[in-house]
Structure 1
Amino acid sequence: MIAPDGLEPVTINGITRTIRVDPGAPAMPIITRDYADAAGMKAGMFGFAMGFGPKVMVSGGTAVARVAFGKVEPAKLRIGFTPKPYAVNVAGVFGPASLAAPVIRFRLREPVAGERTTSFPMVDQGGLFGGWAERFAIIMVEGEPLRIRFDPHHPRTLANAGAAVRLARAYGGTLSGSISPAEIAFGVERPVRTMTLATPLAMGPLTIGTLGVRTVDHGHTDTIADADTHADPNEVVVTGKGKHDIKRDRLSIGADQLNRCSSIVFDKPAKQIRLSCR
Protein backbone atom coordinates (compact mmCIF):
# COMPACT_ATOMS: atom_id res chain seq x y z
CA MET A 1 0.00 0.00 0.00
CA ILE A 2 1.30 3.45 -0.95
CA ALA A 3 1.11 6.12 1.77
CA PRO A 4 -0.60 9.48 1.08
CA ASP A 5 2.68 11.29 0.41
CA GLY A 6 3.82 8.49 -1.92
CA LEU A 7 7.40 8.66 -0.66
CA GLU A 8 9.42 5.47 -1.02
CA PRO A 9 13.15 4.65 -1.06
CA VAL A 10 14.28 3.11 -4.33
CA THR A 11 17.67 1.73 -5.32
CA ILE A 12 18.85 2.20 -8.91
CA ASN A 13 22.14 0.55 -9.87
CA GLY A 14 22.99 0.34 -6.17
CA ILE A 15 22.27 4.02 -5.40
CA THR A 16 19.33 4.74 -3.08
CA ARG A 17 17.21 7.88 -3.18
CA THR A 18 13.67 8.88 -2.18
CA ILE A 19 11.12 8.97 -4.99
CA ARG A 20 7.36 9.49 -5.11
CA VAL A 21 5.02 6.75 -6.26
CA ASP A 22 2.32 8.84 -7.91
CA PRO A 23 -1.02 7.67 -9.38
CA GLY A 24 -0.77 10.36 -12.05
CA ALA A 25 2.82 9.67 -13.10
CA PRO A 26 3.92 7.84 -16.27
CA ALA A 27 4.60 4.12 -16.42
CA MET A 28 8.19 4.84 -17.36
CA PRO A 29 9.81 6.20 -14.19
CA ILE A 30 11.28 9.68 -14.53
CA ILE A 31 14.19 10.64 -12.31
CA THR A 32 16.45 13.67 -12.12
CA ARG A 33 19.59 13.82 -14.19
CA ASP A 34 21.55 14.16 -10.94
CA TYR A 35 20.21 10.81 -9.76
CA ALA A 36 20.86 9.24 -13.16
CA ASP A 37 24.45 10.50 -13.10
CA ALA A 38 24.98 9.17 -9.57
CA ALA A 39 23.63 5.78 -10.71
CA GLY A 40 25.97 5.72 -13.71
CA MET A 41 23.18 5.88 -16.29
CA LYS A 42 23.99 6.96 -19.84
CA ALA A 43 21.32 7.99 -22.33
CA GLY A 44 20.64 5.33 -24.94
CA MET A 45 19.13 5.58 -28.41
CA PHE A 46 15.57 6.07 -27.11
CA GLY A 47 14.74 9.52 -25.80
CA PHE A 48 11.34 10.79 -24.75
CA ALA A 49 9.38 14.03 -24.73
CA MET A 50 6.26 15.22 -22.94
CA GLY A 51 4.15 18.02 -24.42
CA PHE A 52 2.24 20.48 -22.25
CA GLY A 53 0.87 22.89 -24.82
CA PRO A 54 1.79 24.71 -28.03
CA LYS A 55 5.59 24.61 -28.33
CA VAL A 56 5.94 23.60 -24.66
CA MET A 57 7.93 20.39 -24.44
CA VAL A 58 10.10 18.68 -21.83
CA SER A 59 12.51 16.10 -23.23
CA GLY A 60 14.98 13.70 -21.70
CA GLY A 61 17.04 10.59 -22.16
CA THR A 62 16.36 7.01 -21.17
CA ALA A 63 18.45 4.05 -20.11
CA VAL A 64 17.88 0.57 -18.76
CA ALA A 65 18.91 0.20 -15.11
CA ARG A 66 18.54 -2.25 -12.25
CA VAL A 67 15.78 -1.09 -9.89
CA ALA A 68 14.82 -2.40 -6.45
CA PHE A 69 12.30 -1.39 -3.81
CA GLY A 70 13.18 -2.50 -0.28
CA LYS A 71 14.63 -6.00 -0.14
CA VAL A 72 13.13 -7.13 -3.44
CA GLU A 73 15.63 -8.43 -5.98
CA PRO A 74 16.60 -5.76 -8.54
CA ALA A 75 14.89 -5.94 -11.92
CA LYS A 76 15.80 -4.25 -15.18
CA LEU A 77 13.61 -1.29 -16.08
CA ARG A 78 13.78 1.51 -18.62
CA ILE A 79 13.98 4.86 -16.85
CA GLY A 80 13.73 8.40 -18.15
CA PHE A 81 15.75 11.29 -16.76
CA THR A 82 15.55 15.05 -17.21
CA PRO A 83 17.51 18.11 -16.05
CA LYS A 84 14.36 19.54 -14.43
CA PRO A 85 12.71 17.40 -11.76
CA TYR A 86 9.19 16.14 -12.47
CA ALA A 87 8.27 17.07 -8.87
CA VAL A 88 10.12 19.09 -6.25
CA ASN A 89 11.94 17.57 -3.27
CA VAL A 90 12.09 14.03 -4.70
CA ALA A 91 14.62 12.27 -6.91
CA GLY A 92 11.94 11.05 -9.29
CA VAL A 93 8.44 9.69 -9.78
CA PHE A 94 7.14 6.20 -10.48
CA GLY A 95 3.60 5.61 -11.74
CA PRO A 96 1.51 2.58 -10.75
CA ALA A 97 2.46 0.82 -13.98
CA SER A 98 6.15 1.23 -13.03
CA LEU A 99 5.75 -1.25 -10.19
CA ALA A 100 5.84 -5.02 -10.55
CA ALA A 101 2.95 -5.77 -8.18
CA PRO A 102 -0.28 -6.67 -9.99
CA VAL A 103 -2.44 -4.49 -7.72
CA ILE A 104 -1.28 -1.08 -6.48
CA ARG A 105 -3.31 0.60 -3.73
CA PHE A 106 -2.83 4.29 -2.98
CA ARG A 107 -4.06 5.25 0.47
CA LEU A 108 -5.22 8.87 0.45
CA ARG A 109 -6.67 8.93 3.98
CA GLU A 110 -8.46 6.61 6.40
CA PRO A 111 -11.80 5.19 5.19
CA VAL A 112 -14.99 6.63 6.67
CA ALA A 113 -18.56 5.41 6.91
CA GLY A 114 -20.71 5.88 3.85
CA GLU A 115 -18.00 5.44 1.25
CA ARG A 116 -18.71 3.64 -1.99
CA THR A 117 -16.35 2.15 -4.52
CA THR A 118 -16.66 2.61 -8.27
CA SER A 119 -14.68 0.70 -10.89
CA PHE A 120 -13.51 2.24 -14.15
CA PRO A 121 -11.86 0.59 -17.16
CA MET A 122 -8.09 1.21 -17.16
CA VAL A 123 -6.16 2.03 -20.35
CA ASP A 124 -2.81 3.43 -21.36
CA GLN A 125 -2.23 6.31 -23.76
CA GLY A 126 -2.35 4.14 -26.88
CA GLY A 127 0.03 4.27 -29.82
CA LEU A 128 3.52 2.86 -30.25
CA PHE A 129 4.91 4.14 -26.94
CA GLY A 130 1.60 4.41 -25.11
CA GLY A 131 2.75 1.88 -22.55
CA TRP A 132 5.32 4.40 -21.26
CA ALA A 133 2.59 6.89 -20.33
CA GLU A 134 0.15 7.20 -17.45
CA ARG A 135 -2.67 4.79 -16.70
CA PHE A 136 -6.09 6.34 -17.17
CA ALA A 137 -9.64 5.61 -16.15
CA ILE A 138 -12.23 5.86 -18.91
CA ILE A 139 -15.61 7.57 -18.78
CA MET A 140 -17.97 8.24 -21.67
CA VAL A 141 -18.71 11.82 -22.75
CA GLU A 142 -20.90 12.43 -25.80
CA GLY A 143 -20.70 8.72 -26.54
CA GLU A 144 -16.89 8.75 -26.78
CA PRO A 145 -14.24 7.71 -24.22
CA LEU A 146 -12.49 10.39 -22.17
CA ARG A 147 -9.25 9.57 -20.37
CA ILE A 148 -9.19 10.45 -16.66
CA ARG A 149 -5.99 10.91 -14.68
CA PHE A 150 -5.88 10.94 -10.87
CA ASP A 151 -3.54 13.58 -9.43
CA PRO A 152 -3.81 14.02 -5.64
CA HIS A 153 -0.55 16.00 -5.56
CA HIS A 154 -2.02 19.01 -7.38
CA PRO A 155 -4.79 21.07 -5.81
CA ARG A 156 -7.17 21.54 -8.71
CA THR A 157 -9.12 19.41 -11.16
CA LEU A 158 -8.08 20.42 -14.69
CA ALA A 159 -9.25 19.61 -18.21
CA ASN A 160 -7.25 20.35 -21.31
CA ALA A 161 -9.03 22.41 -23.96
CA GLY A 162 -10.25 19.46 -26.02
CA ALA A 163 -11.80 17.77 -23.00
CA ALA A 164 -13.28 21.06 -21.79
CA VAL A 165 -15.10 21.67 -25.08
CA ARG A 166 -16.67 18.21 -24.91
CA LEU A 167 -17.65 18.64 -21.26
CA ALA A 168 -19.10 22.09 -21.99
CA ARG A 169 -21.29 20.71 -24.77
CA ALA A 170 -22.44 17.74 -22.71
CA TYR A 171 -23.00 19.48 -19.36
CA GLY A 172 -23.59 23.15 -20.18
CA GLY A 173 -20.17 24.59 -19.39
CA THR A 174 -19.46 28.31 -19.01
CA LEU A 175 -16.06 29.94 -18.58
CA SER A 176 -15.54 32.79 -16.12
CA GLY A 177 -12.83 34.75 -14.38
CA SER A 178 -9.34 35.73 -15.37
CA ILE A 179 -6.56 33.47 -16.56
CA SER A 180 -4.24 32.20 -13.84
CA PRO A 181 -1.22 29.88 -14.05
CA ALA A 182 -1.33 26.29 -12.82
CA GLU A 183 1.71 24.03 -12.48
CA ILE A 184 1.35 20.72 -14.32
CA ALA A 185 4.74 18.97 -13.98
CA PHE A 186 8.46 19.83 -14.24
CA GLY A 187 7.57 23.32 -13.00
CA VAL A 188 5.71 23.99 -16.27
CA GLU A 189 2.77 26.35 -15.74
CA ARG A 190 -0.18 26.61 -18.11
CA PRO A 191 -2.93 29.25 -18.43
CA VAL A 192 -6.16 28.17 -16.73
CA ARG A 193 -9.68 29.58 -16.41
CA THR A 194 -12.63 28.32 -14.37
CA MET A 195 -15.50 26.45 -16.00
CA THR A 196 -18.85 25.90 -14.29
CA LEU A 197 -21.08 23.05 -15.45
CA ALA A 198 -24.84 23.66 -15.43
CA THR A 199 -25.29 19.92 -14.90
CA PRO A 200 -22.45 18.56 -12.75
CA LEU A 201 -20.42 15.68 -14.10
CA ALA A 202 -21.12 12.57 -12.02
CA MET A 203 -18.12 10.27 -11.96
CA GLY A 204 -18.89 7.42 -9.61
CA PRO A 205 -18.92 8.90 -6.10
CA LEU A 206 -17.58 12.25 -7.32
CA THR A 207 -19.69 15.18 -8.55
CA ILE A 208 -17.77 17.84 -10.46
CA GLY A 209 -19.52 21.18 -10.86
CA THR A 210 -16.51 23.45 -11.39
CA LEU A 211 -13.05 22.77 -12.75
CA GLY A 212 -10.06 24.48 -14.25
CA VAL A 213 -9.58 24.59 -18.01
CA ARG A 214 -6.20 24.74 -19.77
CA THR A 215 -7.43 27.16 -22.39
CA VAL A 216 -4.99 26.51 -25.26
CA ASP A 217 -3.67 23.00 -24.61
CA HIS A 218 -4.66 20.30 -27.13
CA GLY A 219 -7.43 22.43 -28.56
CA HIS A 220 -9.05 25.83 -28.03
CA THR A 221 -11.89 26.98 -25.80
CA ASP A 222 -13.25 29.65 -28.18
CA THR A 223 -16.55 27.79 -28.60
CA ILE A 224 -17.30 27.60 -24.86
CA ALA A 225 -19.75 30.22 -23.55
CA ASP A 226 -18.03 32.98 -21.58
CA ALA A 227 -19.88 34.47 -18.61
CA ASP A 228 -17.62 37.54 -18.69
CA THR A 229 -18.44 38.43 -22.30
CA HIS A 230 -21.76 39.85 -23.46
CA ALA A 231 -22.51 38.24 -26.78
CA ASP A 232 -23.45 40.48 -29.71
CA PRO A 233 -26.41 38.84 -31.51
CA ASN A 234 -25.06 40.18 -34.83
CA GLU A 235 -21.55 38.87 -34.29
CA VAL A 236 -20.38 36.03 -36.51
CA VAL A 237 -17.99 33.65 -34.77
CA VAL A 238 -15.62 31.77 -37.06
CA THR A 239 -13.95 28.67 -35.65
CA GLY A 240 -11.31 26.45 -37.20
CA LYS A 241 -12.25 23.14 -38.75
CA GLY A 242 -9.02 21.31 -38.04
CA LYS A 243 -9.47 17.68 -37.10
CA HIS A 244 -9.39 17.14 -33.35
CA ASP A 245 -7.98 13.92 -31.93
CA ILE A 246 -10.20 13.05 -28.96
CA LYS A 247 -7.62 10.52 -27.77
CA ARG A 248 -5.59 13.50 -26.54
CA ASP A 249 -8.43 14.87 -24.40
CA ARG A 250 -7.63 14.63 -20.69
CA LEU A 251 -9.38 15.34 -17.41
CA SER A 252 -7.08 15.35 -14.39
CA ILE A 253 -8.83 14.89 -11.03
CA GLY A 254 -7.03 16.92 -8.38
CA ALA A 255 -7.05 17.10 -4.59
CA ASP A 256 -10.15 19.32 -4.61
CA GLN A 257 -12.10 16.16 -5.50
CA LEU A 258 -9.81 13.40 -4.24
CA ASN A 259 -9.89 14.80 -0.68
CA ARG A 260 -13.24 12.98 -0.48
CA CYS A 261 -11.58 9.65 -1.28
CA SER A 262 -9.73 7.13 0.86
CA SER A 263 -8.05 5.07 -1.85
CA ILE A 264 -7.29 4.59 -5.53
CA VAL A 265 -6.56 1.02 -6.63
CA PHE A 266 -4.90 0.12 -9.93
CA ASP A 267 -5.76 -3.51 -10.67
CA LYS A 268 -3.62 -4.53 -13.63
CA PRO A 269 -4.96 -8.08 -14.19
CA ALA A 270 -8.56 -6.80 -14.12
CA LYS A 271 -7.63 -3.67 -16.13
CA GLN A 272 -9.58 -1.60 -13.63
CA ILE A 273 -9.12 1.49 -11.50
CA ARG A 274 -11.23 1.49 -8.33
CA LEU A 275 -12.01 4.71 -6.50
CA SER A 276 -13.40 4.68 -2.93
CA CYS A 277 -14.96 7.97 -1.79
CA ARG A 278 -17.71 9.32 0.42
Structure 2
Amino acid sequence: MNPRRVIVPLLAALVLPAAAKPPTVLTLTAAPQPGVMIRIKDANLPVRVSLGFEKALVLNLAPADHAKLKPFPLLGKQTVKDPLIPGGEAVFRGNFYDVAVAGLGKLTVPTVWVNKAVDNGIDGILSVMAIDADRVIFEQPAAPAGGSVYTIPTTGRGDVGGEIKLEGVKISVRFALDAPHTVMNANAGQALADAGLVHRSGKVGLWTPFPQVALPVEGLTPVAGARVLGLPLIDPTVRITEAQAKLLDARAKAGTSTEADQEDAIVVSGSKRRGNRNRPWILIGRDVLTKCSRIEMDKPGRQWVLTCNFAS
Protein backbone atom coordinates (compact mmCIF):
# COMPACT_ATOMS: atom_id res chain seq x y z
CA MET A 1 0.00 0.00 0.00
CA ASN A 2 1.21 3.48 -0.84
CA PRO A 3 1.51 5.39 2.49
CA ARG A 4 0.77 8.61 0.61
CA ARG A 5 -2.78 7.42 -0.10
CA VAL A 6 -3.40 7.19 3.65
CA ILE A 7 -1.47 10.19 4.96
CA VAL A 8 -2.71 12.82 2.49
CA PRO A 9 -6.45 12.32 3.26
CA LEU A 10 -5.66 12.35 6.97
CA LEU A 11 -3.79 15.65 6.69
CA ALA A 12 -6.62 17.12 4.63
CA ALA A 13 -9.11 16.11 7.31
CA LEU A 14 -7.03 17.86 9.96
CA VAL A 15 -7.18 21.22 8.20
CA LEU A 16 -10.88 21.11 7.37
CA PRO A 17 -12.94 23.50 9.51
CA ALA A 18 -15.02 21.84 12.19
CA ALA A 19 -18.70 21.57 11.43
CA ALA A 20 -20.72 24.31 13.09
CA LYS A 21 -22.48 23.15 16.22
CA PRO A 22 -26.24 23.17 15.63
CA PRO A 23 -28.10 25.55 17.93
CA THR A 24 -29.76 24.06 20.97
CA VAL A 25 -33.49 24.75 20.95
CA LEU A 26 -35.99 24.18 23.76
CA THR A 27 -39.70 24.55 23.02
CA LEU A 28 -42.13 25.03 25.90
CA THR A 29 -45.90 25.34 25.95
CA ALA A 30 -47.37 28.27 27.87
CA ALA A 31 -50.91 27.34 28.87
CA PRO A 32 -50.97 29.85 30.41
CA GLN A 33 -47.57 29.59 32.18
CA PRO A 34 -44.52 27.69 30.87
CA GLY A 35 -43.15 25.10 33.27
CA VAL A 36 -40.15 22.75 33.29
CA MET A 37 -38.46 20.20 35.52
CA ILE A 38 -35.02 21.15 36.77
CA ARG A 39 -32.27 19.10 38.34
CA ILE A 40 -30.38 20.78 41.19
CA LYS A 41 -28.02 18.68 43.29
CA ASP A 42 -29.93 15.39 43.69
CA ALA A 43 -33.43 16.88 43.49
CA ASN A 44 -35.90 17.23 40.62
CA LEU A 45 -38.11 20.29 41.04
CA PRO A 46 -40.98 21.71 38.94
CA VAL A 47 -40.59 25.43 38.28
CA ARG A 48 -42.17 28.17 36.20
CA VAL A 49 -40.06 29.87 33.54
CA SER A 50 -39.99 33.66 33.69
CA LEU A 51 -39.33 35.90 30.71
CA GLY A 52 -38.73 38.94 32.88
CA PHE A 53 -35.51 38.66 34.89
CA GLU A 54 -31.85 37.85 34.31
CA LYS A 55 -30.12 34.51 34.91
CA ALA A 56 -31.31 33.25 38.31
CA LEU A 57 -33.41 30.65 40.12
CA VAL A 58 -35.77 31.64 42.94
CA LEU A 59 -37.19 28.84 45.09
CA ASN A 60 -39.70 28.45 47.86
CA LEU A 61 -38.10 27.41 51.14
CA ALA A 62 -39.48 23.84 51.34
CA PRO A 63 -38.09 22.61 47.99
CA ALA A 64 -34.75 24.25 48.77
CA ASP A 65 -34.64 22.32 52.04
CA HIS A 66 -35.62 19.15 50.15
CA ALA A 67 -32.70 19.69 47.76
CA LYS A 68 -30.42 20.27 50.78
CA LEU A 69 -29.22 23.62 49.50
CA LYS A 70 -26.79 25.52 51.72
CA PRO A 71 -26.32 29.30 51.71
CA PHE A 72 -22.97 30.82 50.85
CA PRO A 73 -21.01 31.33 54.10
CA LEU A 74 -21.47 34.69 55.84
CA LEU A 75 -22.98 36.56 52.86
CA GLY A 76 -25.56 33.96 51.87
CA LYS A 77 -28.33 35.03 54.26
CA GLN A 78 -29.98 38.44 54.31
CA THR A 79 -33.23 40.04 55.40
CA VAL A 80 -34.68 42.06 52.52
CA LYS A 81 -37.43 44.67 52.79
CA ASP A 82 -39.51 45.33 49.68
CA PRO A 83 -43.19 46.00 48.89
CA LEU A 84 -43.19 43.03 46.51
CA ILE A 85 -42.62 40.66 49.45
CA PRO A 86 -45.55 39.39 51.55
CA GLY A 87 -45.47 41.30 54.82
CA GLY A 88 -42.88 43.69 53.42
CA GLU A 89 -39.79 41.61 54.24
CA ALA A 90 -38.33 38.12 53.98
CA VAL A 91 -35.16 36.17 54.68
CA PHE A 92 -33.24 35.40 51.50
CA ARG A 93 -30.61 32.67 51.36
CA GLY A 94 -28.44 32.16 48.32
CA ASN A 95 -25.57 30.40 46.62
CA PHE A 96 -24.42 29.25 43.18
CA TYR A 97 -25.58 25.84 41.97
CA ASP A 98 -25.42 23.82 38.76
CA VAL A 99 -28.93 23.63 37.31
CA ALA A 100 -29.99 21.37 34.43
CA VAL A 101 -33.29 22.04 32.66
CA ALA A 102 -35.37 19.46 30.80
CA GLY A 103 -32.42 17.14 30.24
CA LEU A 104 -30.19 19.84 28.74
CA GLY A 105 -26.70 20.74 29.94
CA LYS A 106 -25.94 22.34 33.28
CA LEU A 107 -25.43 26.04 33.92
CA THR A 108 -24.08 27.54 37.12
CA VAL A 109 -26.97 29.70 38.29
CA PRO A 110 -27.32 32.23 41.13
CA THR A 111 -29.93 30.50 43.31
CA VAL A 112 -32.02 32.16 45.99
CA TRP A 113 -34.56 30.61 48.34
CA VAL A 114 -37.00 32.62 50.40
CA ASN A 115 -39.01 32.02 53.56
CA LYS A 116 -42.09 33.55 51.87
CA ALA A 117 -43.96 31.94 48.98
CA VAL A 118 -42.69 33.12 45.60
CA ASP A 119 -45.16 30.98 43.66
CA ASN A 120 -48.20 28.91 44.59
CA GLY A 121 -48.49 25.32 43.43
CA ILE A 122 -44.94 25.08 42.06
CA ASP A 123 -41.48 25.05 43.60
CA GLY A 124 -40.05 28.25 42.18
CA ILE A 125 -39.28 30.53 39.25
CA LEU A 126 -36.44 30.11 36.74
CA SER A 127 -35.16 32.78 34.38
CA VAL A 128 -35.22 31.93 30.69
CA MET A 129 -31.54 32.96 30.72
CA ALA A 130 -30.74 30.10 33.13
CA ILE A 131 -31.59 27.49 30.47
CA ASP A 132 -28.67 25.96 28.54
CA ALA A 133 -30.22 26.55 25.12
CA ASP A 134 -29.43 29.01 22.33
CA ARG A 135 -33.10 29.54 21.63
CA VAL A 136 -36.04 29.08 23.97
CA ILE A 137 -39.43 29.08 22.26
CA PHE A 138 -42.70 29.59 24.10
CA GLU A 139 -45.77 28.41 22.19
CA GLN A 140 -49.25 29.57 23.21
CA PRO A 141 -51.93 27.27 21.74
CA ALA A 142 -54.75 29.58 22.80
CA ALA A 143 -53.34 32.58 20.92
CA PRO A 144 -54.72 33.54 17.49
CA ALA A 145 -52.76 32.06 14.59
CA GLY A 146 -50.89 34.06 12.00
CA GLY A 147 -50.12 37.72 12.31
CA SER A 148 -46.81 39.54 12.08
CA VAL A 149 -43.28 38.91 13.35
CA TYR A 150 -41.84 41.45 15.80
CA THR A 151 -38.08 41.47 16.42
CA ILE A 152 -37.13 43.22 19.64
CA PRO A 153 -33.45 43.65 20.58
CA THR A 154 -32.40 43.31 24.21
CA THR A 155 -30.04 45.76 25.88
CA GLY A 156 -27.04 43.41 25.77
CA ARG A 157 -25.57 39.97 26.27
CA GLY A 158 -27.41 38.06 28.99
CA ASP A 159 -30.14 40.71 29.30
CA VAL A 160 -33.83 39.89 28.95
CA GLY A 161 -35.19 43.41 28.61
CA GLY A 162 -35.46 45.95 25.85
CA GLU A 163 -35.43 49.71 26.21
CA ILE A 164 -37.29 52.70 24.85
CA LYS A 165 -36.69 56.42 25.24
CA LEU A 166 -39.60 58.84 25.62
CA GLU A 167 -39.31 62.55 26.29
CA GLY A 168 -35.64 62.02 27.14
CA VAL A 169 -36.49 59.25 29.65
CA LYS A 170 -35.03 55.75 29.26
CA ILE A 171 -37.54 53.03 30.16
CA SER A 172 -36.71 49.36 30.71
CA VAL A 173 -39.27 47.06 29.06
CA ARG A 174 -39.69 43.37 29.90
CA PHE A 175 -42.21 40.60 29.28
CA ALA A 176 -44.34 39.03 32.02
CA LEU A 177 -46.64 36.13 31.16
CA ASP A 178 -47.73 36.05 34.81
CA ALA A 179 -49.06 39.64 34.75
CA PRO A 180 -52.73 39.84 33.65
CA HIS A 181 -52.23 43.41 32.44
CA THR A 182 -49.28 45.48 31.35
CA VAL A 183 -48.01 47.30 34.45
CA MET A 184 -45.47 50.07 34.91
CA ASN A 185 -44.07 52.21 37.68
CA ALA A 186 -45.07 55.83 38.16
CA ASN A 187 -42.06 57.27 36.33
CA ALA A 188 -42.78 55.20 33.22
CA GLY A 189 -46.48 56.07 33.37
CA GLN A 190 -45.65 59.77 33.55
CA ALA A 191 -43.29 59.48 30.57
CA LEU A 192 -45.99 57.75 28.48
CA ALA A 193 -48.53 60.40 29.49
CA ASP A 194 -46.10 63.23 28.67
CA ALA A 195 -45.51 61.64 25.25
CA GLY A 196 -49.27 61.62 24.62
CA LEU A 197 -49.51 57.82 24.44
CA VAL A 198 -51.90 57.27 27.38
CA HIS A 199 -54.46 59.00 29.56
CA ARG A 200 -55.33 58.10 33.13
CA SER A 201 -58.70 56.37 33.46
CA GLY A 202 -59.34 56.81 37.19
CA LYS A 203 -60.16 53.08 37.47
CA VAL A 204 -58.43 51.32 40.36
CA GLY A 205 -57.27 47.70 40.49
CA LEU A 206 -54.70 45.49 42.20
CA TRP A 207 -51.56 43.90 40.80
CA THR A 208 -50.46 40.63 42.43
CA PRO A 209 -46.81 39.96 41.49
CA PHE A 210 -46.43 37.29 44.21
CA PRO A 211 -48.77 35.35 46.49
CA GLN A 212 -50.18 37.48 49.33
CA VAL A 213 -49.01 40.69 47.65
CA ALA A 214 -51.56 43.12 46.20
CA LEU A 215 -50.39 46.53 44.96
CA PRO A 216 -52.81 49.25 43.80
CA VAL A 217 -52.73 50.29 40.15
CA GLU A 218 -54.69 52.74 38.02
CA GLY A 219 -55.86 51.84 34.54
CA LEU A 220 -54.45 53.78 31.61
CA THR A 221 -56.31 54.43 28.36
CA PRO A 222 -53.96 54.25 25.35
CA VAL A 223 -54.49 56.60 22.43
CA ALA A 224 -55.10 55.04 19.04
CA GLY A 225 -51.91 53.56 17.62
CA ALA A 226 -49.91 53.79 20.87
CA ARG A 227 -47.06 51.27 20.86
CA VAL A 228 -44.08 50.22 22.95
CA LEU A 229 -41.23 48.37 21.20
CA GLY A 230 -43.58 48.06 18.23
CA LEU A 231 -46.22 46.25 20.31
CA PRO A 232 -49.61 47.91 20.88
CA LEU A 233 -50.65 49.15 24.29
CA ILE A 234 -53.91 47.32 25.01
CA ASP A 235 -54.85 47.45 28.71
CA PRO A 236 -51.96 49.10 30.57
CA THR A 237 -51.90 50.02 34.26
CA VAL A 238 -49.65 52.18 36.42
CA ARG A 239 -48.63 51.80 40.05
CA ILE A 240 -50.25 54.22 42.49
CA THR A 241 -50.14 54.64 46.25
CA GLU A 242 -52.80 53.37 48.63
CA ALA A 243 -53.79 56.99 49.30
CA GLN A 244 -54.16 57.72 45.57
CA ALA A 245 -56.29 54.61 45.18
CA LYS A 246 -58.67 55.79 47.90
CA LEU A 247 -58.90 59.26 46.36
CA LEU A 248 -59.85 57.73 43.01
CA ASP A 249 -62.25 55.17 44.46
CA ALA A 250 -63.22 55.21 48.12
CA ARG A 251 -64.57 51.66 47.72
CA ALA A 252 -61.35 50.31 46.20
CA LYS A 253 -60.02 47.22 47.91
CA ALA A 254 -56.91 48.01 49.93
CA GLY A 255 -53.57 46.61 48.83
CA THR A 256 -50.71 45.35 50.95
CA SER A 257 -48.27 48.25 50.49
CA THR A 258 -47.57 51.00 53.02
CA GLU A 259 -46.37 54.60 52.71
CA ALA A 260 -42.80 53.48 53.44
CA ASP A 261 -42.52 51.02 50.56
CA GLN A 262 -44.25 52.66 47.61
CA GLU A 263 -41.29 54.08 45.67
CA ASP A 264 -42.50 52.62 42.37
CA ALA A 265 -45.86 54.38 42.83
CA ILE A 266 -44.40 57.88 43.14
CA VAL A 267 -42.96 59.99 40.32
CA VAL A 268 -39.30 60.77 41.09
CA SER A 269 -37.40 63.29 38.97
CA GLY A 270 -34.26 62.12 37.19
CA SER A 271 -31.97 64.16 39.47
CA LYS A 272 -33.37 62.39 42.55
CA ARG A 273 -33.39 58.80 41.31
CA ARG A 274 -31.14 56.44 43.24
CA GLY A 275 -29.42 53.99 40.88
CA ASN A 276 -31.97 51.57 39.44
CA ARG A 277 -34.44 51.88 42.33
CA ASN A 278 -36.56 54.54 40.63
CA ARG A 279 -35.66 53.73 37.05
CA PRO A 280 -38.75 53.71 34.82
CA TRP A 281 -39.91 50.20 33.93
CA ILE A 282 -42.74 48.52 32.04
CA LEU A 283 -43.81 44.88 32.22
CA ILE A 284 -45.69 43.84 29.08
CA GLY A 285 -48.41 41.51 30.37
CA ARG A 286 -50.91 39.00 29.09
CA ASP A 287 -53.21 41.68 27.68
CA VAL A 288 -50.61 41.90 24.89
CA LEU A 289 -48.77 38.57 25.03
CA THR A 290 -51.86 36.34 24.73
CA LYS A 291 -52.08 37.64 21.16
CA CYS A 292 -48.72 36.00 20.42
CA SER A 293 -48.70 32.35 19.33
CA ARG A 294 -44.92 32.17 19.52
CA ILE A 295 -42.43 34.02 21.74
CA GLU A 296 -38.77 33.23 21.17
CA MET A 297 -35.70 34.25 23.14
CA ASP A 298 -32.81 34.19 20.65
CA LYS A 299 -29.75 34.37 22.91
CA PRO A 300 -27.01 34.51 20.23
CA GLY A 301 -28.99 37.22 18.42
CA ARG A 302 -29.66 39.08 21.69
CA GLN A 303 -33.27 39.56 20.73
CA TRP A 304 -36.85 38.47 21.21
CA VAL A 305 -38.80 37.29 18.17
CA LEU A 306 -42.58 37.34 18.60
CA THR A 307 -45.30 36.15 16.23
CA CYS A 308 -48.46 38.04 17.18
CA ASN A 309 -51.89 38.63 15.70
CA PHE A 310 -53.39 41.82 17.10
CA ALA A 311 -56.18 41.92 14.50
CA SER A 312 -58.14 39.08 16.15
Give the residue type in structure 2 aligned to 1:31. Answer: L
Query: What SS does the aligned partner of 1:188 have?
Result: coil
Tell me: CA distance 1:200–1:213, structure 2 relative to 1, closer, same or farther (3 Å).
Answer: farther
Deviation at 1:275, TM superposition (A): 1.9
Judge conservation of contact 2:293–2:307 (CA < 8 Å) in 1. Answer: yes
**What is the aligned partner in structure 1 of residue 299 from structure 2?**
268
Q: 1:2 aligns with which of 10, 28, 34?
A: 28
Tell me if 1:105 matches 2:117. no
Instruction: Report the equivalent of 2:196.
Output: 171
Q: 87, 109, 124: which is aligned to 2:119?
A: 87
Cα distance in 2, alignment partners of residues 63 and 96 from structure 1 = 19
Higher share in helix: 2
Percent of matched pairs sharing the same residue: 22
Number of equivalent positions:
255
**Distance in 1 of aligned mates of 2:215 and 2:82:** 11
Stretches of structure 2 lacking an aligned partner (at least 5 in a row): 1-26, 242-261
In structure 2, the CA distance between the partners of 1:205 and 1:173, relative to structure 1 (3 Å rule), is closer
* TM-score, normalised by the number of residues in structure 1: 0.79
Shift of 1:112: 5.2
When Rg is computed on C-alpha atoms for both structures, the one with the higher figure is 2
Q: Do the aligned partners of 2:174 and 2:282 also contact (CA within 8 Å) in 1?
A: yes
TM-score normalised to the size of structure 2? 0.71
Matches within 5 A, 1:112-191: 114-123=146-155, 135-171=160-196, 173-191=198-216
Residue 233 (structure 2) aligns with: 208
Residue from 287, 308, 311 that aligns with 1:256: 287
In 2, Cα distance between equivalents of 1:275 and 1:99: 19
Of 177-186 and 155-164, more deviation after overlay is shown by 177-186
Letter of the 2:96 counterpart: V
Contact 1:182 1:192 in 2 (8 A): yes
The structure whose residues are more often strand, as a share, is 1
Distance 1:198 1:93 in 2: 35
Is the 1:111–1:262 Cα contact (8 Å) retained in structure 2?
A: yes
Larger CA deviation: 156-165 vs 76-85: 76-85
Counterparts in 2 of 1:73 and 1:104: CA distance versus 1, 3 Å: closer
Q: How well do the aligned residues superpose, as a CA RMSD in angstroms? A: 3.1
Give how far 1:182 is off.
1.4
Q: Does 1:21 align with 2:49?
A: yes
Is the 1:53–1:218 contact (alpha carbons within 8 Å) kept by the matching residues of 2? no
- Pick which of 147-156 and 208-217 moved more: 208-217
